[in-house]
Amino acid sequence: MRLLKNEFIWIALILIGLFFSSATPYSDQSIVSPLERFNWSWIEPTLANVEFDYAGKEVSLDALGTVGLIEFLMRKAAHFVTFFALGALFVKAISRTNLHASLNLLFAWTLANTVAIFDEYHQSLTPERTPLLQDVLLDSSGAIAGVVLIGGVLLLRSKRKRGKRAGYVALR
């Protein structure tokens, strides 16, 4: 099970998943058909309050319909969660070096953003896919959340370890 705790393996799996996802046309990864099998009337009152612009297009129940809006929200949540995990894993991986904590966080976030930019560029080469600056910003937001959360946890851990050692006196 140690293998599953290795952040480099998880980073590689996420990068491979992103590569294949970006190389897949939208029609092959659309989940609208499976979502249409369910009765979503129970969530429509909540979704009626959702209305905003994303990449110059209206995102609302009226514009996309119930299933379209749910799919949109799921796809954007997947962006955020994927890059949250990637940012957190980059922090964990970089923390193995002797970089200062703030440089560690900055470098991890920069790496995640670089992946986001290349992911959107790769989408531009795929039929039916559109690269969006908004997706890069969403990915970046997920990455910074993961970086800050895991970076904070690692920082607290290191302070606790240093705090315990500070009062230690060896008896001879």
Ramachandran region, residue 41 (left: φ > 0; alpha: ψ -120 to 50; beta: rest): alpha
pLDDT (tens digit per residue) in 92-107: 999 888 888 889 999 9
Q: How far apart are CA 158 and CA 129, in angstroms?
A: 43
- Percentage of the chain with pLDDT > 90? 79
Mean pLDDT of the residues in the chain = 90
- Domain positions in the chain are 2-166
pLDDT reading at 154 higher than 90:
no
Q: How far apart are CA 126 and CA 109, in angstroms?
A: 26
Is residue 108 within 8 A of residue 90, CB to CB? The reply is yes
pLDDT (tens digit per residue) in 47-92: 999 999 999 999 999 999 999 999 999 999 999 999 999 999 999 9
Return the H-helix or E-strand segment holding 54.
strand 51-54
